[in-house]
Chain A
Amino acid sequence: NAGVTQTPKFRVLKTGQSMTLLCAQDMNHEYMYWYRQDPGMGLRLIHYSVGEGTTAKGEVPDGYNVSRLKKQNFLLGLESAAPSQTSVYFCASSYLANQPQHFGDGTRLSIL
């Protein structure tokens, strides 16, 4: 039982490049979330999904897009990466709203 798996674990991009971060969960959870973690700021919600085929904006959605075509997968896309998007990205999932969220180990992304 892997829980929440994020790929890749590390990535370095140049400004303007695009990439997709993949999150996969094997717990049959309805809710999935993408956060970014920056020093001294805790975790901030980028986008989330309350079920297959749904997405919604979080606190800091600008510059990111997401898709949830399958229940177990939640993709985070950066269309044109900017240095301000250098961060550690965490995916999480939960069975229902207000149930504890299960987190992946993160993706460290550097934009040069």
Chain B
Amino acid sequence: AQSVTQLDSQVPVFEEAPVELRCNYSSSVSVYLFWYVQYPNQGLQLLLKYLSGSTLVKGINGFEAEFNKSQTSFHLRKPSVHISDTAEYFCAVSNQGGKLIFGQGTELSVKP
């Protein structure tokens, strides 16, 4: 069975500092990987996706993630965060069937 583990439940960081949100997954088959962001009282928005091809994926708002098959990881990074990046971030994995399995979420808190 597939599973997703987000290694940090909360990540506090100062504005303009770099940030990495960690995600590990387990699966015995080929997977598709996603990062979503959820702002307060809103639904989830897609940040970026890995379906195939280049292992470095660039998304919206300056975020990027790297797919590492040997380490079964898909960590999210941003070189310089803004106050507006404060939100909850979810890593998700799906297989051929299209059903998403979500991690528990990481709360990113950007402080001035």
Give the B-binding residues of A (Cβ under 8 A). 4, 31, 33, 40-45, 48, 50, 58, 90, 92, 94, 96-106
Which residue of chain B is the closest to A30 with respect to CB atoms? B98
- Inter-chain contacts of B103 with A (CB < 8 A): 42
Q: What residues of A have a CB within 8 angstroms of the CB of B42 in the complex?
A: 105-106
Give chain B residues whose Cβ lies under 8 Å from the Cβ of A44: 102
Number of A-B contacts (CB under 8 A): 58
Write out, one digit per residue, whether chain B residues 66-87 have a CB within 8 A of any chain A CB (1) or not (0): 0000000000000000000000
Q: CB distance B90 to A58 under 8 Å?
A: no
Q: Contact: A103 with B43, CB < 8 Å? A: yes
Expressed in whole angstroms, the Cα–Cα distance for A97 and B105 within the complex equals 23
Q: Which B residues are within 8 Å of any A CB, using their own CB?
A: 4, 9, 32, 34, 36, 41-46, 49, 51, 90, 94, 96-100, 102-105
Q: Is the CB of B44 within 8 A of A90?
A: yes
CB–CB A45/B99 < 8 A: yes
Contacts of B96 in A (CB 8 A): 97-98
Most buried by A among B42, B100, B102, B103: B100
